[in-house]
Amino acid sequence: MNLTGQACLDFEQDINLFVDHELPAEDTGRLVSHLDGCTDCRGFVDDLRKLASLNRIQAADFDQARVDLVDKHALFAAVTGTLLDDKRAELSRLFYELGKAYVLKGNGALTSELQRSVLPAREPVDIRSATGRGRRLSREAEELEAAARTNGSRESGSLFRRSRRLFSSSSRAGSGALANGRRLLEEALALDAGLDEARLYLGFHHMLSGRFDRARVTYREVSLHGQDPVHRMMALQMLGNVHATGGDFEQAIECYTKVVESGLLDDEPRLFTALVNLAVNCVKVGRVTQGIDHFRDLVQRFPSRVDQTRALLSRKQGFAALIDRHATLADDLRRQVPVLFAA
């Protein structure tokens, strides 16, 4: 309806606000006085109210129609599936953290000759508290799966029951800790095959257990297919360690060189030892000048890590024995890199 007349045009906006219950109180009295004497405006108010009522009815019918279209079982299944996916991701991460803690604990319990240097990005979790958290998480997931099966889901429930059994393992040392760590890391990867951190520690477990072939395969997989460039370089660094342990120093040098040339050493402390190992292995294969250059580069680039480097070198018994056997090599190292090799 179009309003006519100058006076009514003046009230058109107020009428719309009035019908929508948005007209300020101080303006309402003026409009009511006008409506008392204007039949056109009263008719317009009635029409607007009828239109608003019709819109509310249509909106309610539309909302109810949308509700009727929803498959409640499908909606529940979708929500439950999302929650279960979240539980799987949380469990996978917890398996990794616990597996890492057990492997590091097992490494610490080995004799000094068998122990290996490792620099974790974060300190390992407390095994006891993480195990308790894992049990609670597994129970919650089992209950969620039970609800899903009741509503027609095909979830089997075996995954989280198996998880709870793994979390029942007691804290162990030595080989027992390594065995626990392997099982937990493998379970983490079964839940999330892309969790390269777990694969790196699984490779570390294989090295500690003397399974160098399996360690090579594990590290090579991450170095080639890892999603994170730091993880790829860490895998190459550890692959170099495996080659060096087996006496294949040329392959080790190739791995360490790629890590050093990656440009990540300055930002990632865990990759620093690749430069140390590159220098050591160059010396071992007779590339003394090249090895010394790497040692000098190390001191220039990372002066704050000199003490750490000296500590690492003190653990390399084969390298120390090589220096003892060759007086000329020892003199060259002391003369050109005194901060590392001076007595």
Under a CB-based contact definition with an 8 Å cutoff, are residues 244 and 281 in contact?
yes
pLDDT value of position 44: 80
* CA distance linking residue 106 with residue 212, whole number of Å: 17
DSSP character at residue 232: H
The whole-chain average pLDDT of the chain stands at 82
Under a CB-based contact definition with an 8 Å cutoff, are residues 131 and 154 in contact?
no
* CA distance linking residue 251 with residue 234, whole number of Å: 16
**Among residues 220, 214, 250, 225, which one has the least CA distance to residue 237?**
220
Q: Residue 170 corresponds to which tokens in the numbers above? A: 């007691």
Model pLDDT for residues 5-52, shown as the tens digit of each residue:
434 777 778 877 777 777 777 777 777 778 777 888 888 888 777 777
* CA distance linking residue 148 with residue 251, whole number of Å: 52
Q: How many residues are there in the chain? A: 343
* CA distance linking residue 244 with residue 277, whole number of Å: 9
- H-type alpha helices, the chain: 6-19, 25-37, 39-69, 72-109, 127-150, 158-166, 174-191, 196-208, 212-225, 229-245, 249-260, 273-284, 288-301, 306-314, 317-325, 327-336, 338-341
Q: Output the CA torsion sign for 273, 278, 284, 288.
A: negative
pLDDT band at 261 (very low <50, low <70, confident <90, very high): very high
Under a CB-based contact definition with an 8 Å cutoff, are residues 270 and 305 in contact?
no
Under a CB-based contact definition with an 8 Å cutoff, are residues 200 and 231 in contact?
yes
pLDDT value of position 36: 77
pLDDT value of position 72: 45
Under a CB-based contact definition with an 8 Å cutoff, are residues 42 and 35 in contact?
yes
Judged against a pLDDT cut of 60, whether residue 4 lies above it is answered with no
Model pLDDT for residues 218-239, shown as the tens digit of each residue:
999 999 999 999 999 999 999 9
Model pLDDT for residues 201-220, shown as the tens digit of each residue:
999 999 999 999 999 999 99
| 287 phi/psi in degrees, rounded to 5 | -90, 65
Least trusted range by pLDDT, from 138-147, 186-195, 254-263? 138-147
- The CB density around residue 294, as the number of other CB atoms within 10 Å, is 24
Please indicate, yes or no, whether the overall pTM of this predicted structure exceeds 0.75: no
Q: Output the CA torsion sign for 183, 185, 188, 190.
A: negative
pLDDT value of position 338: 95
